[in-house]
A and B are shown apart, each in its own frame.
Chain A
Amino acid sequence: MSVLVYVENAEGKFKKSIFEAVSYAKAVANQLETNLVAISIGNVASSDLENLGKFGAEKVLNVTNDKLKTFVNQAYASVVAEAAKKESSTVVVLSNSFSGKGLAPRIGAKLEAAVADGAVDLPSTDGGKFIIKKTAFSNKAFAFVEMNSAIKVISLTPNSYKIEEVVGSANVEEFTSDIKDSDFKAIIKEIVRATDKVSLPDAELVVSAGRGLKGPENWGMIEELADLLGAATACSKPVSDADWRPHSEHVGQTGIAISPNLYIAIGISGAIQHLAGVSSSKVIVVINKDPEAPFFKVADYGIVGDAFEVVPKMIAAVKSLKANA
């Protein structure tokens, strides 16, 4: 028996969400009184692989096949499923990243395993059951999903489980698997990555703005505040629809759902479809000139005021806080 965690890399490096996934998988392994094995595909420095021991991995399977350098979900699913069989894994853990979403269901279907997408907590294993809590109805509720299959696949929502460090270093082993050509029909032509910015799904802090900002020319102060805080920027749907901001920043029911530690909403009314994507943020701050804006009902902190006066003062306050730190 074992728990297997797939450690996705972004250009050879592990992000925070991966350490969260390893810590989570370790806790599941402890619950089941078994070992934690990690599997990495692609080129990652061996010191980074050994370092996974610090989060609880005892062994790391390292797959370095040249054909698997870039992510192809079909082929990666075959490799992870094969490793799960070899390691007699009963639970497979992934991070619920964009790639994880393309991978977990394929692994599940291969292993006839139930897939819990977007878990937000450890499983409850009382009475021999295996129940996972996940968000449902676009963040308006949680569903508790009982998984009945012999093998279970869990993808973990980023920023929902605390990293736990332990003492240890992982043993790295090469892992080779048979790969079939038919798994490589999808061919990546180009990867475009804005590397200078914090990516929205990974961000711990997010500064977001809506139609209250009047036009794209007014985003300078939003970006400045975000840069100062090391935050990502986001926006409401009408803003990206009007091409004031890129679609990748659109949060909500039809955009992306995020759960950062801090979400600052500036000039956003708080429509139900917007809240669907952001209501699981840990702390919500609302800046809006209308005291009746629905967003205040779900906020922790707020200022009723004109964004064009308030935001520059917030920027100055963050600067002086940093200067005094």
Chain B
Amino acid sequence: MRFLINKIVLGLSILAALIGLVFLFWILIDLTIKGVGAIDWHIFSNDLVNNGLRNLLIGQFMLALTAVVIGVPIGMIAGIYLQEYSYGSKYAEFIRNLSDVMMSAPSIVIGVFVYAIVVNPVGHANGWAGSIALAIMMIPIVVRTTDDMLGLVPKELREAGIALGAPKYKVIFDIIIKAAKVGITTGILLAFARIAGETAPLLFTSGNSQFFTMNMNQEFPSLTVAIYNLATMPDENLVKIAWAGAFILTVFVLLINLLGRYVIREKK
């Protein structure tokens, strides 16, 4: 009897895994066929006005990079506070939980929130608002990884630094962060991969633009929002561009994820 149940459970698990894999590969294959077919030199050298992706790729990268510049320091400082300075503080656990809840907040909610506090007062969508929304998505991930990775560094290493007459902040910045470097870097890479492909937080914040721009005070081009818009266009040519964009984005996010995993493996 137990043997039979075992068989059934095993069979069901395999079936479930297969269904998941089938859809995953279906998407990937479809994306690759339609995406690769749509890629040519033209889309890299022209902006959206001329049926190209150049301004979108650069725009997406700028938005994500600015989000990293805003989000990583804030997240790391918060993580350092939680792990290194908050002994016995009642607020520490509260902040940890809050940060974890933030991690699973729907990205559209973050988009609407930033719309209310940044876009509305300014009066129009702009690049900064988009980056702020992405940074808000990133911060909890960075807080969590920094906190966890610093927690893995043995306390003897901190004590050894202090025992040599070093001030505590020096020990943290010279020794402890270095010891946790690989883990924290991986966390930041994965957080970057997570935000690089987001549409919802950008929809109401950075808007979109057909033209090449580096001015983050204006509406800002991004690949994800453009794919969202183009995909429903009647013009077949534009739909093709959307496929190319989707393919490039997927490959990019996949590569960062692989890089992150590779860094972890190298460490071990």
Q: Do A and B bind each other?
A: no
